[in-house]
Each structure stands twice: as C-alpha cells, then as structure tokens.
C-alpha cells in the first residue's frame, strides 16, 4: 500500500471540496481536473510542513519570545525583531523527511519538463531545479515576518506562527505549439503550424468543455510531445461571474434607541429580525458558497436569519473581528442626536461620516478601512476570483470602508455614502476581481 505523503500532496490526490488552505491556482486546476480534462502536473506543500519546520530546534518558541519584545509603536523595534526572526528562519534547516518528499515529488515531474512555477497567495516565481525550490519555500515563510505583516497581524490578533497557505508547485510546459480555442465555436487561435491530427484533438477538447460549461469559454492550451494540456480556462461572458453580497445587519436594540453602538454587542430588535428575514427572501436566487460576518452578535444573528429564510442553513461561515463595526470609543452608548446638540452639526458629521476624523479612544473610518480591506483581499477576494458566491453580513462603517475600496470612492466623497440597516448591495465580480455589475435590492430602508 502506498504511503501517504505527510508534507506534500500531488494534485491528483487532492479533493476539490477540501480547498481551504489551497492557493487560487490550485483551486482552478482542481476544477478542471474534476472533469477529467488534461492539466499540467503539480503538487502542493501543505501547511503541516510549516508547522513541522517551526517545531525543529525550538524555533517556534524562539520566534514567540522575539515577538513578545516588539514595541509596535516604534518602527525601529519592529524592524529589528523582524530581521532577527527572518535570520533565524533563513539559517534553520529543513527536515530530511520534508526534503525527501519534496525532492521525490519534484523528480516525478522533472522527466517531462524544464522548469516549474511556485505559487502562493497570487505571487509566482519560476524555479529551474530542486536547488532553487527549497530556498524559495523558505523565502515564502520568511516573508510572513516582514514588518508590515507583523504589524497587521498584531492589530488584528492574528497568530503569525499559524496562518500559512499551501505552496503550489506546477509544471511549466515549454512548447512552441500553444494557443487558445473558443468552446462555443471551436475557433482555434495560434501562431504555430498544427497537423490535422492536432487540430482534431483541440477541437475534441472544445467539444468536451462545451458539454460541461453552458456559456462560451476561452481555453488556453499547449501541446508538448504529442500531449495536449489546458493551462487556463476563462469565461467569455460575465454571466458566470461570482456574486458578492454585502448586507448591513438589521436594526439592533441600540439602533432603535438611537445609540452609538460600535463594539458593544446588543441583539437584533424584533424589527431587525424581520428585516433579516426579508433580506433572506430577496436573496433566494443566489446560492452562497461561503459566508462572512463580524464577531458581533447583531451581524451573526442577521446572517442566521438569512440562511433560514432562504433555506440554505449550512453555508460555511467565518466570523472575524476584522469586519467589526467602527469602535466609537468615548461616544459608545451615547445618543446620537444628543451628541449633535452638544457638539454641533459640523463636528457631529465629522465624527459620524468623516474619513479620518478621530474619536477619543476610538477609530476613524480610515482605521476601519485599514483592517477591513486587507482581510478582504487576503481571505475573501481569492474565493470570489475562483467563482464562489459570498455574502458578508457586517456593519455600516465596515461595509462603507469595503465599498470605498471596491468602488474606488475618494476620501472626500465617502462621507456621502449611507448604508441603512438591512440594505443589500449585490456585486458581480469577474475572475480578475473587477466589478462588472452592481444592484441595491432594497433601497427603501430606514437610515439609522
């Protein structure tokens, strides 16, 4: 019986439904492979490899001790500790078991190709040999401890020793015979001279793809040593793009009283629960693959009501404080309209809708943007690019920050954006992460 690899998995052994730790390129390849279509060979280095590496020579404890010495308000301290940690990782040795597994998997591909592409988090690097691959793996782990990443992890309470993506290693097929074909018409585009047999193979490939994809796709292909491979598959219309739904939670008990809520954690009011139920009915046409909420109860309750109302109770769900409402600091719990009377309309509007207006002991919208957008780009955007439909149930300001990013709204114009409780924004996102359509499904909602 073949021994299962511990640190490395061949693409042939991966399950398309077990993709939480995979890079986006691996997810796309698995979707094609699930249809028994030819793709380049490859393997992934699983997160367990990183955990094993940290366990060697007490490396994890050494890094933890160094992280505890950082004064995050001092750039020199952050830089010094970062450099020390990166030096420790660079000088630490990889285990013999890990090197053996990676080397063996690489050699399986090396007989049929000249080079490979290493991919993690959307970044790619071409390597020419196993001597290049092993240092590249370590450089990816080293990059986790750049000062900017350490600061981000500190602000959002992320453990730098735990969060790691799988590393994808894919064969690069070098051949002059390459091009593309449209699945709907079998129209071939290439600069190479093809034999009649090769043309027939490519056209047969288009026929197979057409059976599995209703709308036209553009398939990039390459022929090497009489073997035909798909290297990319791209839809030619926007009709199959992913949906991103943003919904502000329903009315909370504090919303009903006109109180600044922020990080306080009241439940939905009766009206808020009804608003969430109505939102679920309005979203019955979208099947969600993943759901995200903040860590606050009113957002979680809103999502739960939506799941029930649209009869999709088992949507995989992630709750994270990066999506929390703005921290209103000293204003938390105070009545909004009494604050307006006390401080005047001008100051009130600066606090309520301004971009970088500080609140004592609280956050500005700019602060919210700096935690929401990186989380979205790191955790949600890759899934949207892969075609997944996603709903985010969050808050007025965390969603304003995200909409600012999505729609490229200026610092001055963002003050004009209002997202009432229960309002639904539906975006269509293409495979490059661009917005190709937007609608607001319930314009008539109360502004609180």
Q: Which residues are catalytic?
A: 249, 325
What does residue 125 show for φ and ψ, rounded to 5 degrees?
Answer: -145, 130
Q: Which of 175, 188, 205, 196 is nearest to 38 (CA)?
A: 205
- The Cα–Cα gap between 167 and 420 comes to 41
Cβ atoms of 202 and 226 within 8 Å: the answer is no
Q: In what order do the strands lie in the sheet with 435-440?
A: 317-319, 290-293, 390-394, 242-248, 424-429, 435-440
């Amino acid at each position: 019986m073949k021994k299962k690899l511990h640190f490395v998995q061949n693409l042939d052994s991966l399950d398309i439904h077990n993709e939480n730790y995979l890079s986006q390129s691996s997810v796309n390849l698995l979707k094609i492979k699930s249809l028994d279509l030819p793709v380049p060979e490859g393997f992934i280095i699983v997160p367990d490899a990183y955990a094993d590496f940290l366990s060697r020579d007490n490396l994890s404890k050494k890094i933890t001790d160094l992280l505890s010495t950082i004064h995050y308000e001092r750039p020199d301290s952050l830089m010094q500790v970062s450099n020390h940690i990166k030096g420790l990782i660079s000088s630490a040795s990889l285990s013999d078991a890990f090197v053996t597994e990676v080397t063996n998997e690489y050699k399986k591909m090396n007989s049929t190709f000249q080079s490979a592409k290493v991919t993690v988090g959307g970044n790619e690097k071409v390597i020419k040999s196993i001597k290049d691959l092993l240092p590249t793996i370590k450089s990816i782990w080293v990059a986790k401890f750049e000062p900017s990443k350490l600061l981000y992890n500190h602000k959002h309470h992320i453990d730098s020793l735990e969060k790691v993506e799988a590393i994808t290693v894919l064969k690069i097929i070098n051949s002059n015979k390459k091009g593309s074909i449209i699945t709907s018409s079998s129209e071939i585009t290439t600069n190479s001279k093809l034999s009649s047999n090769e043309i027939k193979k490519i056209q047969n490939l288009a026929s197979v793809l057409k059976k599995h994809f209703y709308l036209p796709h553009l398939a990039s292909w390459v022929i090497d040593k009489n073997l035909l491979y798909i290297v990319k598959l791209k839809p030619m219309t926007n009709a199959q793009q992913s949906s991103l739904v943003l919904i502000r939670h329903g009315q909370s008990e504090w919303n009903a009283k006109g109180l600044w809520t922020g990080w306080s954690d009241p439940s939905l009011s009766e009206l808020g629960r009804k608003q969430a139920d109505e939102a679920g009915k309005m979203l019955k046409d979208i099947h969600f693959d993943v759901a995200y909420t903040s860590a606050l109860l009113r957002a979680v309750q809103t999502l739960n009501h939506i799941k029930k109302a649209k009869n999709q109770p088992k949507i995989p769900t992630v709750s994270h404080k990066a999506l929390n409402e703005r921290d209103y600091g000293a204003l938390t719990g105070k009545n909004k309209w009494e604050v307006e009377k006390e401080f005047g309309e001008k100051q009130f509007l600066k606090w309520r809708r301004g971009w970088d207006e500080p609140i004592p002991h609280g956050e500005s919208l700019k602060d919210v943007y700096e935690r929401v957008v990186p989380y979205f780009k790191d955790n949600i955007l890759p899934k949207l690019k892969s075609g997944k439909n996603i709903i985010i149930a969050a808050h007025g300001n965390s969603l304003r920050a995200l909409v600012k990013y999505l729609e490229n709204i200026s610092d001055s114009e963002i003050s004009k954006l209002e997202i009432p409780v229960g309002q639904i924004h539906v975006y269509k996102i293409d495979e490059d992460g661009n917005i190709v359509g937007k609608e607001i499904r319930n314009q008539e909602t109360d502004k609180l």
